[in-house]
Amino acid sequence: MKLNELISLISSRTGSPINQSMLAESLGITRQTISNRIKNESEVTVSELQRAEDFFKIKLFDSLETNLDVAYIDYYTDVFASCGEGSIIFSSEKTKLPVSTSMINGYSKSKLYSMINATGNSMSPTIENGDKLIVEHWNGDQIQDNKIYVFCYNGEFFVKRLSKNIDEIIIKSDNPEYRVRTIPSKSISDLILIGKIVGAIKSLD
């Protein structure tokens, strides 16, 4: 297990996001050391897992050994879905992150999930810039009114609330500073639905 995976696991087990400084304190090393090790993709030792357990007063080995309540999902580190005016995919590099299934709304082993980053503030306060978003991949289901989706439209990626009208799709932001937009029936075929947002790990920045 790598350090960024440990950060996600501790966050899921405690129910609160932790940052590099908090992990460094728990392991008795500096934040810069944590940052360097994440860049170098160094593995966490067993003794470090034990120190993290003692510091945060949680059990990590249970989830690692039984894997009963943890889902390992693809985290696309360089994929950004815009909560503003649109953002493109930079690359498709990914890593596996353990996430507590309790953080995923409607979790099912039969569904496909991934995690991406959010940018912008149009979905604030529900989603903030830098949040990690858990996406349940679209499998042909109908759009559920007022749920938050990640989708591609006109070559740009967005995270917005979607609702269906008779002959159009309504795109809404949670930030009232952003106007409501619509996709007319003649352009609906240009909408590529990636999936529904079913969870998030909040950014501390």
Q: How far is CA 114 from the centre of its chain?
A: 7
Look at residue 14 in the predicted model and tell me its pLDDT: 84
The per-residue b/e assignment along 40-56, b for 16 or more CB within 10 angstroms, e otherwise, is eeeebeeebbeebbeeb
Give the pLDDT score at 137: 92
> Over the chain (205 residues), what is each successive 10-residue block's mean pLDDT?
82 85 92 88 78 86 54 78 54 74 87 90 91 90 92 87 92 95 90 92 70
In contact, 2 and 41? CB cutoff 8 Å: yes
pLDDT at 88: 44
pLDDT at 68: 47
Which domains, ranges and CATH numbers included, belong to the chain?
3-66 (1.10.260.40), 70-201 (2.10.109.10)
Angle of the 3-14 helix axis to the 20-27 helix axis, nearest 10: 100
Task: Give the model's pLDDT for residue 90.
Answer: 46
In eight-state DSSP terms, residue 88 is: -
pTM for this entry: 0.65
Q: Which residues contact 95 (CB under 8 A, 6 or more apart)?
A: 2, 4, 5, 74, 75, 77
The Cα–Cα gap between 162 and 101 comes to 25
Sign of CA dihedral 22, 24, 30, 31: negative
